[in-house]
C-alpha cells in the first residue's frame, strides 16, 4: 500500500524524473504531467492526494491550473503545493489567494519537499477532507455538499456500495481490497466526467460506501452506466480460475466452505422529488434506504 498518490506537474524532464524516482523510493505512487492541460486531465482520472505544481508551464501557467482545479467541484479539495523559481512575495500571495496549500521555490531541498508533501496529505486526512484510500472528498466536504442541497430543488444523489468486498478482502488481503476502492473511485470519476456536469460531486463516505451528487435527471443514466462498467471491469481483480467459475470459495465462521459471489455494485437513487427533506440526516437516511432497496432487488 502506498503512502499516497502525487501528481508532479513540471515541464523540466530532469526535475520531474528526479522527483518521480525519489518519491517512488519513499513509498508513493507518482504521476507526471509536463503541461497544464495534461495535469487537469490526469487529475480527473487519477484523483491524487497532492499536486506538486510548477508555475511556469508551456501551455497554461500553474496559476490557471490551480484556479481551474479549485473551481471544479470534483477537484477543489485536492491539496496543491506550488513549485517555482519565482520567489517574489506577490507571486506567493497570488498562489495562496487562488487556494494553494503551500509554496516552495527552486532550487529546493528534496527532503524539505518530502516533508511538506507528507504534512499536506496528513493535514487533509486529519481535517476529514479527503479519503486516504481513494483521494476523494470525504467527511466534512460531503456534509457541506449535502447542506447545499437544502437550498436546491433539482438535485439527485446516488448512494453506492460494493457488495462482496469483505469476502474479496478476506481472500486476497487488505491491500487488494484497497485497490478495489481506488479502482471504484477512478471509475466514478471517469463516468461523471463523460456523462455528468462540472458541478457534480463525488465523495467516499468510508468503507465501501460512495456518494455522487448530480442533477435529478441524470440519476438513472449514471446509475445504469456505473453498474454496467463496474461489472464489466471488476473481474480483472480476481485470478483467472475465480473469474471463470464466477465465485470465490471461502470459509464461514463454522469453518465450512461457501461460495461468495463476485463483487457488484448496489446503487440507490434519490432526488429532491422524494422529499421534502428538512435536514441532511433525512437525506442520508433516505439515500441509505434506497441503497438497501437496490440490494434487495439483486
* Dist. CA 62–CA 15, nearest whole Å: 16
Superfamily designation of domain 139-297: Reverse transcriptase/Diguanylate cyclase domain (3.30.70.270)
State yes or no: pLDDT of 1 exceeds 60: no
The CATH number of 5-126 is 3.40.50.2300
Give the model confidence (pLDDT) of 5-19 as tens digits: 999 999 999 999 999
Give the model confidence (pLDDT) of 30-46 as tens digits: 999 999 999 999 998 78
Q: Where in the chain is CATH 3.30.70.270?
A: 139-297
Residue-level pLDDT at 53: 94
In this structure, of 75-84, 184-193, 227-236, the range with the lowest mean pLDDT score is 75-84
Q: Which segments of 35-140 are extended strands (E)? A: 50-54, 80-84, 102-105
Give the model confidence (pLDDT) of 95-111 as tens digits: 777 888 888 888 888 99
Residue-level pLDDT at 128: 66
pTM of the model: 0.74
Distance of CA 181 to the CA centre of its chain: 9
* Dist. CA 267–CA 276, nearest whole Å: 21
Amino acid at each position: 500500500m502506498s503512502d499516497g498518490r502525487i501528481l508532479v506537474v513540471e515541464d523540466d524532464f530532469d526535475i520531474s524524473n528526479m522527483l518521480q524516482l525519489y518519491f517512488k523510493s519513499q513509498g508513493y505512487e507518482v504521476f507526471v504531467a509536463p503541461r497544464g492541460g495534461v495535469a487537469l486531465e490526469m487529475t480527473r482520472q487519477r484523483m491524487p492526494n497532492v499536486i506538486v505544481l510548477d508555475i511556469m508551464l508551456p501551455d497554461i501557467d500553474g496559476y490557471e491550473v490551480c484556479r481551474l482545479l479549485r473551481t471544479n467541484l470534483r477537484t477543489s479539495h485536492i491539496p496543491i503545493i506550488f513549485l517555482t523559481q519565482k520567489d517574489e512575495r506577490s507571486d506567493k500571495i497570488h498562489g495562496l489567494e487562488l487556494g494553494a496549500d503551500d509554496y516552495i521555490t527552486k532550487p529546493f531541498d528534496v527532503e524539505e519537499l518530502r516533508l511538506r508533501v507528507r504534512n499536506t496529505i496528513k493535514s487533509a486526512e486529519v481535517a476529514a477532507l479527503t479519503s486516504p484510500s481513494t483521494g476523494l472528498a470525504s467527511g466534512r466536504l460531503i456534509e457541506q455538499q449535502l447542506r447545499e442541497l437544502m437550498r436546491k430543488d433539482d438535485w439527485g444523489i446516488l448512494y453506492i456500495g460494493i457488495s462482496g468486498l469483505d469476502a474479496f478482502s478476506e481472500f486476497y488481503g487488505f491491500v487488494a481490497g484497497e485497490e478495489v476502492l481506488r479502482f471504484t473511485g477512478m471509475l466514478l470519476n471517469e463516468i461523471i466526467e463523460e456523462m455528468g456536469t462540472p458541478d457534480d460531486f463525488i465523495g467516499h463516505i468510508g468503507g465501501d460506501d460512495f456518494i455522487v451528487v448530480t442533477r435529478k435527471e441524470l440519476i438513472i443514466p449514471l446509475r445504469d452506466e456505473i453498474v454496467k462498467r463496474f461489472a464489466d471491469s471488476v473481474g480483472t481483480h480476481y485470478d483467472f480460475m475465480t473469474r471463470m467459475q464466477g465465485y470465490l470459495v471461502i470459509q464461514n465462521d463454522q469453518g465450512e466452505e461457501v461460495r461468495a459471489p463476485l463483487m457488484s455494485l448496489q446503487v440507490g437513487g434519490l432526488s429532491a422529488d422524494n422529499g421534502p427533506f428538512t435536514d441532511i440526516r433525512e437525506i442520508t437516511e433516505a439515500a441509505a434506504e434506497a441503497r438497501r432497496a437496490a440490494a434487495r432487488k439483486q
